[in-house]
Amino acid sequence: MQIHTMSKCVVALIGAGLFAGAVQAAELTGTLKKIKDSGTITLGVRDSSIPFSYLDDKQSYQGYSIDLCMKAATAIQKQLGMTALNVKMIPVTSATRIPLISNGTIDLACGSATNNAERQRVVAFAPTMFITANRLLSKKSANIKTLADMKGKTIVSTSGTSNLKQITTLNGERNLGMNILAAKDHAEAFLMVETGRAVAFAMDDILLFSLAASSKAPVDYAITAEALSVEPYGIIERRNDPEFKKAVDAALSSVYKSGEINAIYKKWFQSPIPPKGINLNVPMSAELKAAFAKPTDSPDPAAYAVVPEAQKGSSKKK
C-alpha cells in the first residue's frame, strides 16, 4: 500500500487475474473509459463516519461503505478485463464529496450519504445500502427528548449534510430560535457537544450511536427517540453516466440479493470493530432487509416503508 502524504491519497491494488470477455477501450465512454485508460478507480472516503468509512488507529481507511465500493471495483475490473486495478482513496467531507464527484476527481463517494430528490438532480446513487433517521444526540444532563426542547439553545450539525439543512428549515418553521453551528465533520460536531459548545448534535442515528459508543464516556449521552426524518444511504455516483451506474448497481445488487451482504453487515454492525473493538449491536431492520431483497435507488422515504403482515391481511379483506 502506497501513501501519498501531499494529497493524503491511499492507493491499493486489487488482485491480478486475467478475465475473459474484456471490453475494448474503444467501446467505452465516461467513467468506465477513464478507469480503463488510467488503470485506476478513485474512491472518496471519510475520516470519521464510523462504521461506514473512517480512519483506524493505523491511519488506514476502512468501513462498511468501503467494503461495498471494493466489491464494485472488483466487478468493474472483471468487466473491463483488466489484470490489475489501482484503487486510490481520497479523503472527502460532506461538503466536498458531491463537487468532487461532479468534476471527476473521484469516481464513487464511499461514506454515509443520504439519497434524496434534491441531490439526485446533481448526482446519482447506487442501490440503498442502509436506512437511518435524523435524531439528536446530547448529554443526558441536558434532558433533551425532542427538537422542541432545543428552543433557544445551540445545536450543531455537519456542513454539507441534509441534516443541517433540515434543522435550519425546522428552526424557522417552528420558531425555535436555535443557534445553529456547522462543523467541518462528524468528529468536530460531537466534540462541540462533548465540550459544551453545543447542547445537541443533529445527525443520522447510526452515526450518533457510533460516535457515542467510541467516546470517553458513552453513558453520558442520550439519543432522542423522536425521528425527524427517514434517510436512505447510498454510494454516490456521477450523474448522466449510465454505463458506469449500470456496472456499479449490478455489482451491489448481486451482493445484496445473493445474501453476501449479510456477512458484510454483521462485520460492521454486529461485531467488534477497530480501533477500539466496540460492537454497535445494530440488527438489520425490516426496511433494510426489504431494500436488499429488491434493490432500489429511490430517494423517496416512503419507498422504504414496510407494511406489517397483520396490516397486509386486513387490507386484503377490505
Q: What does each of the 318 residues of the chain score in pLDDT, given as a tens digit?
A: 333 333 455 666 666 544 444 444 448 999 999 999 999 999 999 999 999 999 999 999 999 999 999 999 999 999 999 999 999 999 999 999 999 999 999 999 999 999 999 999 999 999 999 999 899 999 999 999 999 999 999 999 999 999 999 999 999 999 999 999 999 999 999 999 999 999 999 999 999 999 999 899 999 999 998 989 888 999 999 999 999 999 999 999 999 999 999 999 999 999 999 998 999 988 898 889 999 999 999 999 999 987 555 445 544 444
**Statement to judge: residues 14 and 158 lie in one domain:** no
Residue type, 149: D
What pairing do the DSSP bridges indicate for beta strands 221-223 and 130-139? antiparallel
Between β-strands 53-55 and 9-14, what pairing exists: parallel, antiparallel or unpaired?
A: unpaired
Q: Where does a domain end: 184, 211, 230? A: 230
Dist CA 22 CA 275 (whole Å) = 40
Do 169 and 286 lie in one domain? The reply is: no
Residue 30 — left, alpha, or beta (φ > 0 → left; ψ -120 to 50 → alpha)? left
Q: Are residues 25 and 96 in the same domain?
A: yes
What pLDDT, on the 0 to 100 scale, is given for residue 316? 45
Instruction: Tell me, yes or no, whether 310 lies in a domain.
Output: no
pLDDT value, residue 12: 62
pLDDT of 229:
87
CATH number of the domain encompassing residue 212:
3.40.190.10
Structural contact between residues 119 and 98, judged by C-beta atoms closer than 8 angstroms: yes
Instruction: State the residue range of the domain holding 173.
Output: 133-230
Q: What's residue 225's pLDDT? A: 87
pLDDT number for residue 10: 60
Q: Which pLDDT belongs to residue 43?
A: 98
pLDDT at 215: 92
C-alpha cell at 79: 468487466
SS3 content of the chain, % helix, strand, coil (to 5): 40, 25, 35
Residue 317 lies in a domain: no
